[in-house]
Amino acid sequence: MYGEPKEEFLKMLNYTAPFMPKDKPRYLMGVGTPDYLIEAAIAGIDMCDCVLPTRIARNGTAMTWNGKVVVRNATYERDWNPLDKECDCYTCENYSRAYIRHLVKANEILGVRLLSIHNLRFLTKLMERVRIEIENDNLLNFKNEFYKKYGYTKE
């Protein structure tokens, strides 16, 4: 895990967010995990940035709608599925988990690039969905459904 424990993050987020100007964009630096992004949106944060999606890509990890996939693991050696069947990114439309695993294991830069493309698209789609759920006044329900599907056990 990166950064402070979630309980401490939420405590500081919920304490400081109300002090931020309501008539200007609210920015939170260094937040990149799906759960922290959702929590930030709930607290009224407009923008976040983080190196996490590309950093974990360099370690062979993809974020998916069903949790993390670590393509370095032997499980994916002959897995011809895309990283995420629910994803429309270039990586998922053109490459299998097995091939990306091969690239990462061989230290081919293309593997890291493909994982980075995927992770950035995943987070973009996640935040698009968060905006839709805000408009539909359904963000808390979405959060609970997403946490369960992604594999988060506790808030």
Instruction: Count H helices and E strands in the chain, helices first.
Output: 7, 4
The DSSP output letter for 151 is T
User: 118-130: per-residue pLDDT in tens?
Assistant: 999 999 999 999 9
CA distance 112 to 54: 8
One DSSP character per residue, 103-149 reads: HHHTT-HHHHHHHHHHHHHHHHHHHHHHHHHHHTT-HHHHHHHHHHH
> What phi, psi does 78 have (nearest 5°)?
-125, 30
User: 76-127: per-residue pLDDT in tens?
Assistant: 999 999 999 999 999 999 999 999 999 999 999 999 999 999 999 999 999 9
State if pTM tops 0.85.
yes
